[in-house]
Amino acid sequence: MKRLKQSGNASPGWVLSAPAFLWWSFFFLLPVLAIVYFSLADKGGYAAEQAVLFNDLDLDNYANSLTGPFFAVFLITMRTAIVGTLTALLVGFPVAYTVATAVRRKWQPVLLFLLILPFWTSFLLRTFAWRIILAPEGPLSMFLQTVGVLSSPLGILDTQAAVQLGIIYNYLPLSVFPIYAALDRIDPRTREASIDLGAGRIRTFIEITLPLAAPGIAGAAMLIFVLAAGDYVNPAILGGAQGLLVGQLIAIQILASQNLPLGAAMAVVLIALLGMVALTVWLLVLAVKRAMKWVWDPGVHADRKVLTERGSHA
C-alpha cells in the first residue's frame, strides 16, 4: 500500500458492493440453506421449543410432497401456471406489437407506464376486485342474468376457474414489457425488406418478427411462470376450498399445521421445478437462435460467393 492511486475517490468496487453482498449472504443465502436443512428434519410436538426435531434427518418430507394429494396440487399448480403464462402471452403479444409498431414514439412510454401502473399498485386490490365482479349477486352476474345468458347466479367464485382468471389478469402486464423491448430492437427496415422481397405479411411475421422476438417472449414467459407458480394471493382470495395452489399449501403447512419441515420440503420441490422449467425455456431460446443462424447464414455465404466471383472476374 505504498503507492496511492491517482484518482481521488477510487475505492474499489468490491468495497462498495460488500455491504449488499454480506447482507444478502447473511439474510438470503443462509436462510435458503436453512430451508434445505429444515426440509430434512421431522415435525415435532406442538410446544414451540420442540416444533422441529433434528435427531433423524431423512428425505421423508420429499417422499410426502411427491406423492398423493400433495403432488396433485403441484400438478394443478403447474397446469394453472402454464395456462396462465400462455394466455397472458397470447393476449399481451398483440399489445406489445401494437405499442412497438403502430403507436407514435412519443406515446410509447406513456402507454407502457399505464400498463405497469396497475401492477405496481396494490396486488390485493386487483385480486379483490374480482370478488366483487364475480360475486353471485354482483354486477356481472346480474347483468348476465338480465341479458339472459345465465339463468342462475354466476358460480365461478371459489373455484379453479376464478384462480386461473385472477392469475391471467394479475400477470398480464408483465407479458408486454419484455416482448416490447425485443420488438423495439428490431429495425423496421428488416420487416419492410422482407415484404419488399415478396415474403408476404404472414411469412414475414413468422420467419422474421417472431424469431427475433423469441428472447423477449421467453423472458416474459419465465417471469410470469415463476410468479404464477409461487402465487399465494390469487388462490387465497379467489380459490376458496376448491382452488388450492401449492403456494397456499406451503403456507398452510407452515402457518396453520405447524409442519415446518414439510412446508420447507415443498418449497425446495417448487424451486427445483421452477429451475427445471427455466432451463428448458433457456435451451429452447438457444435452439431458436441456432436455427435462425442456420437459416440466415447460407444467404450470407451466397452473398460472399457472389462478391468474390465478381471480384475474380474483374
Q: Cell 477510487 belongs to which residue?
A: 10
Q: Of residues 81, 212, 264, 269, which one binds another protein by CB under 8 A?
A: 264
Q: Report the site for another protein in 152-181 (rule: CB under 8 A).
A: 169, 172-173
Question: Torsion angle, CA of 59/62/67/73, rounded to 10 degrees?
Answer: 170
- Taking the least distance from each CB to another protein, the nearer of 71 and 98 is 98
- Spatial CB neighbours of 200, under 8 Å, sequence gap ≥ 6: none
Binding status of residue 90 toward another protein by CB under 8 A:
no
CB of 107 to another protein, least distance (A): 11
Q: Is the dihedral of CA 138, 140, 146, 148 positive or negative?
A: negative
- Taking the least distance from each CB to another protein, the nearer of 110 and 307 is 110
Q: Of residues 1, 47, 125, 147, which one binds another protein by CB under 8 A?
A: 125
- Taking the least distance from each CB to another protein, the nearer of 129 and 288 is 129
Interaxial angle between packed helices 30-39 and 260-313, expressed in degrees from 0 to 180 and rounded to the nearest 10 = 120
Binding status of residue 1 toward another protein by CB under 8 A:
no
Task: Characterize the bridge pairing of strands 42-43 and 52-53.
Answer: antiparallel
Q: Of residues 43, 65, 77, 130, which one binds another protein by CB under 8 A?
A: 130
Q: Of residues 113, 143, 282, 296, which one binds another protein by CB under 8 A?
A: 113
Q: Report the site for another protein in 52-71 (rule: CB under 8 A).
A: none
CB of 306 to another protein, least distance (A): 33
Binding status of residue 213 toward another protein by CB under 8 A:
no
Q: Binding string, 7-46, against another protein, x = CB under 8 A?
A: xxxxxxxxxxx-xxx-xxx-xxxxxx-xx--x--------
C-alpha span between 136 and 151 (Å, rounded): 12
- Spatial CB neighbours of 143, under 8 Å, sequence gap ≥ 6: none
Q: Of residues 76, 82, 86, 95, which one binds another protein by CB under 8 A?
A: 95
Stretch near another protein under the rule CB under 8 A, chosen from 62-70, 72-80, 94-102, 182-190: 94-102
If we measure between CA atoms, which residue out of 24, 22, 51 comes closest to residue 38?
Answer: 51
Name the grid cell of 30.
443462509
- Taking the least distance from each CB to another protein, the nearer of 137 and 187 is 137
CB of 295 to another protein, least distance (A): 25
Binding status of residue 50 toward another protein by CB under 8 A:
no
In this structure, the chain runs to a length of 314
Binding status of residue 237 toward another protein by CB under 8 A:
yes
Please list the alpha-helical segments (H only) found in 123-252: 123-134, 139-147, 160-185, 188-196, 201-204, 210-229, 233-234, 246-251
Q: Report the site for another protein in 240-259 (rule: CB under 8 A).
A: 247, 250-251, 254-255
- Taking the least distance from each CB to another protein, the nearer of 10 and 197 is 10
Binding status of residue 143 toward another protein by CB under 8 A:
no
If we measure between CA atoms, which residue out of 211, 234, 100 comes closest to residue 161?
Answer: 234
Q: Kindly write down the DSSP assignment for every residue of 180-197, as one continuous string.
A: HHHHHHS-HHHHHHHHHT
C-alpha span between 266 and 272 (Å, rounded): 10
- Taking the least distance from each CB to another protein, the nearer of 29 and 63 is 29
